[in-house]
Structure 1
Amino acid sequence: MRLRALLAAALITITTAPAASAVAHGTDVPPGHFGFVAKLAMTKIPRPDGSTYSSFCTGALIAPAWILTTGHCFHDAHRNRVSGKVPYPTTVTLGLVDEATESGIARKATEVLQAKENDIALLRLDTPVTTVTPLAPATTPPKIGQQLTLAGWGSLTSANPTPATHLQQGTVTVAKVEPTTLGVRGAAPEITTSACTYDSGAPYFTEDHLVAVEATGPGCPHAGIETTSRVDVLANWIESRAA
């Protein structure tokens, strides 16, 4: 199993590259949609040998000053998840779908809180975002067969991954419900629609609620089961900390 935010760990820096899609075999998100989806850009991530590299994750605004994402995006040099002060510079950008034509709303992350139950973290922003409507975390369990929207800034493929410049979306179906995770499969536009590198923390949501966030899965694109972290099992924890 791979951690998508860390697949490019061999890179010391992310170099500029041609535009690439996100969410493998997905479609472009229209302008003005899903402003709550956050692109997380991290720099100076440490390695055991003392060198550093840059990487990306995705997340969702769930309160004016809080992003919900995957926990493994924030770790020490040995890949152990960390809480407290953000371990490396992290910029959070919201309110855009196309980096070529929009600037979005940029904030710095200051604190990360790791959940114990599953691979989820809360990220505090240095200044609240008041011009984007947050996506409310789900409080009830998802059901097998339920369809969810996935939106993310990941790569088109896990081979030679490139961070996206245009937000992508796709539809998945819940195939398995576990105590803290969901297994989902691609549904549209293709059965191989799936999360990819840099989609760690990407939201899976209904019209009204954030149901899960991306954790891990097979190399993308793929038609297998993707593992996501359930949000409803953390409803009380999220409410108590991201009020």
Structure 2
Amino acid sequence: MRLRALLAAAVLTVSTAPAAWAVAHGSDVPPGQYGFVAKLAMTKIPRPDGSTYSSFCTGALVAPDWVLTTGHCFHDAHRDRVSGKTPYPTTVTLGLTDEATESGIARKATEVLQAKENDVALVRLDSPVTTVTPLTVTRAAPKVGQQLTLAGWGSLTSSDPKPATRLQEGTVAVAKVDPTTLGVRGAAPEITTSACTYDSGAPYFSGNELVAVEATGPDCPHAGIETTSRADVIADWTATHTA
């Protein structure tokens, strides 16, 4: 099990060469779809020895000036999650499916709020995004067998992680419901469709409702259970801070 967005990048410098992969064994998202999916690019992330590195996460717009992502995407040099002023420069891009042909909507992250209930954080943007419809954070408890869409900017494989340049999607089924997390398995286009490196924070949604957020899982691609953070248990917390 790994904290995908950051553990791999802690020992590897992110390549700037073009890459054309994302959710492992997923499929291309058509242009104009899922504009609420955010690509988070972080630089100058600190290590204990004083050096820094760059990394990526995925997230979802849940209010015009707030993105929901995984809490561990924002941490100090000792990997302890942090709240307050964004700990390192972070660019958030929305309304984008293909970096080769689109520019998307770019904002800077200014503040991070960590949830107590699970590994989730809210990220404030420096100005609202008014041309993209946010996801609604569901208040309904998920059920085993429920199918969800995953969309993210992750890598094709854990063995050679590279940030995506093309947004990917896949379908998963809820396999296990715990008090604050969900276990999900790949359903389509393959049973090995799964989140991967840099998908941390990626939304699992049904229609316009956010049901869960990517947390961690086995090396990808895989047919095992992926651990996600339930959105319904932080719905009140999210509403309080984004109102």
Which TM-score tier does this pair reach, normalised by the shorter chain? over 0.9
What corresponds to 1:231 in structure 2? 231
Cα deviation for residue 8 of structure 1 reads 1.9
Q: Percent identical across equivalent pairs? A: 82
Cα deviation for residue 208 of structure 1 reads 2.1
What corresponds to 2:28 in structure 1? 28
Deviations 1:129-183 (A, max 9, x none): 0000001101110110000000000000001101000000000000000000000
What is the total number of aligned residue pairs between the two structures? 242
Counterpart secondary structure, 1:240: helix
Contact kept? 2:15, 2:162, Cα under 8 Å: no
What corresponds to 2:10 in structure 1? 9
Counterpart secondary structure, 1:10: coil
Counterpart secondary structure, 2:213: strand
Code of the aligned partner of 2:60 = A
What corresponds to 1:136 in structure 2? 136
What corresponds to 2:201 in structure 1? 201
Note the residue ranges of structure 2 that are not aligned, 5 or more in a row.
none
What corresponds to 2:66 in structure 1? 66
What corresponds to 1:51 in structure 2? 51
State how far apart, in whole Å, the 2-side matches of 1:189 and 1:235 are. Answer: 30
Structure 1's consecutive aligned runs of 4 or more residues displaced over 6 angstroms after TM superposition are none
What corresponds to 2:161 in structure 1? 161
What corresponds to 1:95 in structure 2? 95
In the TM superposition, 1:211-226 aligns within 5 A as 211-226=211-226
Counterpart secondary structure, 1:80: coil
Code of the aligned partner of 1:55 = S
Note the residue ranges of structure 1 that are not aligned, 5 or more in a row.
none
State how far apart, in whole Å, the 2-side matches of 1:52 and 1:76 are. Answer: 11
State how far apart, in whole Å, the 2-side matches of 1:162 and 1:14 are. Answer: 7
Cα deviation for residue 203 of structure 1 reads 0.2
Deviations 1:51-100 (A, max 9, x none): 00000000000000000000000000000000000000000000010000
Code of the aligned partner of 1:235 = A
Taking only aligned residues, the RMSD between alpha carbons, in angstroms, comes to 0.6
TM-score (norm 1): 0.99
